[in-house]
Structure 1
Amino acid sequence: MKIQNAIEEKLSRAFAVNHLQVENESHKHSVPPNSETHFKVTLVSADFDGQMKVKRHQAIYKVLADELAGEVHALALHLYSPQEWSDSGQSVPESPNCMGGSKKDAAMTSGEGQ
């Protein structure tokens, strides 16, 4: 889990973290076992106070530029100010399972995707 650890370290250094959770969701996608290609990041930081979502995302992309230029294919971002996190009930939406690539083909063959 070297990529996940790198993401956690970089975000912890770059932001005033109230809460950070990095989940490897690669197993939900059409990738080999033990892949580190799809991640879900939940980050709560006072750095996001008064900041629009696009600016928050841009800040994350800048910090994780090397990972995004490399093996990371997808990054789901759930970025909150402390007040937004409190208002949300401290929960984030579940990520759907991927239905692309070979998983979509298997669902269509079994009749699930029709």
Structure 2
Amino acid sequence: MSISNDAVTQLIHTRLPDAQIEVQGDGYKYQAEVISSSFQGLSKVKRHQLIYAAVNEAITSGQLHALTITAYTPEEKAAL
């Protein structure tokens, strides 16, 4: 039993409604790029904790096995 990319996106949106989110996955491994002004002033660890909190239910249920996260503020993403 796995979770769709859209469902992962929706879970993250519940915690970070202002975020731009791109999720790619194959049913086992997923990558999420999350851009949100909510990350302003937060460390990389704190940013990841926010995202993991949003998808925790899917992780504990076994639907989401592996998630690689990149998290930026809009300014950080624009500077790339």
TM-score bin, normalised by smaller chain = 0.7 to 0.9
Deviations 1:44-83 (A, max 9, x none): 0000011100001111111100111213221110100011
2:39 matched to which residue of 1?
Answer: 48
Instruction: Show the 5 A alignment for 1:8-87.
Output: 8-15=9-16, 16-17=18-19, 19-24=20-25, 26=26, 36-69=27-60, 70-87=62-79
TM-score of the aligned structures, taking structure 2 as reference length: 0.85
The percent identity for this pair of structures is 26
**Greater share of residues in strand:** 2
Structure 2: runs of 5+ lacking an equivalent: none
Larger radius of gyration: 1
Instruction: Choose between structure 1 and 2 for higher RCO, CA contacts under 8 A separated by at least 6 residues.
Output: 2
TM-score of the aligned structures, taking structure 1 as reference length: 0.62
Structure 1: runs of 5+ lacking an equivalent: 27-35, 89-114
May I ask how many residue pairs the two structures share in their alignment?
77
Instruction: Indicate the RMSD between aligned Cα atoms, in angstroms.
Output: 1.5
